[in-house]
Structure 1
Amino acid sequence: MAPTKATLAAAPCTPPDHFRELMSGFPTGVGVVTAFRADGRPMGMTCSSICSVSLEPPVLLVALRSASPTLAAVLDGSAFSLNLLHEGAREVAKLFASGDADRFDRVDWRRGSVGGGPHLADAAHAMADCRVTRHEAVGDHTVVYGEVVATVTAPGAARPLLYGQRRYASWPAA
């Protein structure tokens, strides 16, 4: 017999390690969310919680750890860039997941033409500059909605970097 709505509502939440194991079986693309602090210092973090929301207007969402300094910069500046990494950027993904304070000293980056955050042009196959339209705290993360105001796609046919089963991988060749 299937559980009822009342039974599910009363059930305890799944432990975080069980949820992490579940989600590791769902491979996804890898991006680095970047923003500038008020003092001009670049901030950024690896993110795989990325989703398109709407085509008209073009809106995407990213879910960032609520205690993240990158989230603070995104919300303070009301803007961010999403850098979608290509298959050759595994080390960049690891660097921006590490929290190292000098990560922007270790990669090539430049300002986008319309705002947002730093562009990691050597590591990304596509970039989107976004204006924050809303945000909502959900558990230990904050979901940030960004209206895409500009996009840049790198020339060539770079394959995206993927993450699943707790490892990075490349899109298979056709």
Structure 2
Amino acid sequence: MNKTRGFEIVSSYENKNINLPRRQTIASAGYDIEAAKDMVIPSIWRLNFVRIFRLIRNGHHLYEPDYQLAEQILQPLLIPTGIKAYMPDDEVLVLANRSSNTFKRNLSLPNGIGVIDSDYYNNPNNEGEIFMQVINYGVRPLQIRKGDRIGQGIFVQYLKTDNDLPVSRQRTNGFGSTNEEGI
């Protein structure tokens, strides 16, 4: 069988009852992606963040430890999915939030969307496992259960400019590896 695009389970999640993403209606563009394990996503409004927020609001000078603490608290969390995606070289898998996540769960994708390039598939660092990057802006910790639909993936073909320069660099790492060390 000739494979064009689709999803597979990464080896570390084989035999762990991971569901491959699927569309929910006839006209759905997005494939619903599920969490691979139970997780608690803490609220960004934890006590230390509120302390920093008050300092900022009241015009106090912040010191390097204050900045470091705020950055640590506002760090997005990665929810593992246990899946990877394959597609042609001229396609990308766009990860988007589900509207119910923001409306009902106060869960947001801090980068707006995620982009899974075709060469992320089977990369040597993490086998191409897809992670959903999230923050909980609600006041309560959010319990994510294995199998909860946490996002959606949409396969999109992209175009290149007329003067696109050849690129010879090959992906060597995982998540975020085009900018830095990947997960």
| Greater length-normalized contact order (CA 8 Å, ≥ 6 residues apart) | 2
- TM normalised by structure 1 equals 0.29
- Choose between structure 1 and 2: higher strand proportion: 1
Larger CA Rg, structure 1 vs 2: 2
With normalisation by structure 2, the TM-score equals 0.28
